[in-house]
Amino acid sequence: MPYICRNVSFIHHKQMIRRISILLIVVGFVLSAQAQETTSEAPKKNKHETRMINFGVKAGINVNRLDTRIPAYLNENYIGFSGGIFARFNFKRLYLQPEVLFSMVGGNGFFDNGGRYNIKIHTIEFPLALGYKILDFRIINFRLNGGPFAAVSVYKDIEVTDPFHPSNSFSSDSLSNWNAGLFVGLGADVWRFNLNARYKFGFVNLLGDNVMIQDPGAAFRNGHFEISLGFKIF
């Protein structure tokens, strides 16, 4: 009789283990299916934002002016074209973006004595932007960026009209062959498109000192506001 009881107890214990095992398997299947469903319903990031590297094109306009310390000089804006290519290296919210741009810069200005100076310079520009995505959503983000730039002149033209100082006449060779400076800006990405706004501060004195009205402080540096629209090819 004790043997029969022990045998019944063993069979009952074995059945309990089997039931618990079946229950655990069922629970496992349910949890697995629920996890897959949650993953499939989770919002996916724009694949162009999740890539390590993006490549694209951009085009826009520059609103230029020549800044100087001469008080009698009055500025007029000169509007030129800007466009080129960019690559973006993404590190989560941080990114590094080198660019190669064709950029039309310069400035128009005049003196109260009737003198007038129109300067146009076409450059190949090399900006390097370090940016941070302050807001990063599914298909849109907002960014801050800034960094250095360098530029090489490929075309230069200066037109001078100065009735009181006829000696102040210059050829295009008088203009600097290069420029460099810093820029700050902000932007937004929507799907593959990106909108950018920047201000660039040129450090190079484009006309040199003592070249316009014999003023040693006549430093003419280009500053321009740039607005562009870009498209990520991949």
Task: For residues 189 and 226, state if they share a domain.
Answer: yes
CATH number where 170 lies: 2.40.160
At residue 44, φ and ψ (nearest 5 deg) are -95, 140
**Same domain, yes or no, for 168 and 75?**
yes
Phi, psi of 220 (to 5 degrees): -110, 110
pLDDT at 111 (0 to 100): 75
Segment 140-197, tens digit of pLDDT: 999 999 999 999 999 988 877 767 666 665 656 667 889 999 999 999 999 999 999 9
d(CA 187, CA 147): 14
Report the pLDDT averaged over residues 189-213: 82
Phi/psi of residue 171, each to 5°?
A: -95, 170
What was the pLDDT predicted at 183? 98
Lowest mean pLDDT among 1-5, 143-147, 188-192, 223-227: 1-5
In this structure, are 27 and 133 located in the same domain? Answer: no
145 and 221, same domain (yes or no):
yes
Give the model's confidence band at 23: pLDDT under 50 very low, under 70 low, under 90 confident, else very high. low
Residues 84 and 142 placed together within one structural domain of the fold: yes
Query: For residue 43, what pLDDT is reported?
Result: 47
- How do residues 57-91 score in pLDDT, each as one tens digit? 999 999 998 877 777 777 888 999 999 999 999 99
Q: What is the pLDDT of residue 166?
A: 65
Among 104, 50, 54, 107, CA closest to 82: 104
Boundaries of domain holding 25: 1-42
Contact status, residue 207 vs residue 218, Cβ threshold 8 Å = yes
Same domain, 26 and 121: no
Together in a domain, 53 and 147: yes
**Residues 23, 61 within the same domain:** no
pLDDT of 37 higher than 50: no
Mean pLDDT of 13-25: 59
Looking at the structure of the chain, the number of domains it has is 2
Confidence at residue 88, expressed as pLDDT on a 0 to 100 scale: 97
Q: Are residues 88 and 189 in the same domain?
A: yes
C-alpha span between 165 and 21 (Å, rounded): 101
Q: Residues 114, 223: one domain? A: yes
Same domain, 38 and 53: no
pTM: 0.73
Mean pLDDT of 102-107: 92
Cα–Cα distance for residue pair 86/187, rounded to 1 Å = 14
25 and 75 co-located in one domain: no
Say which DSSP state 148 is in: E
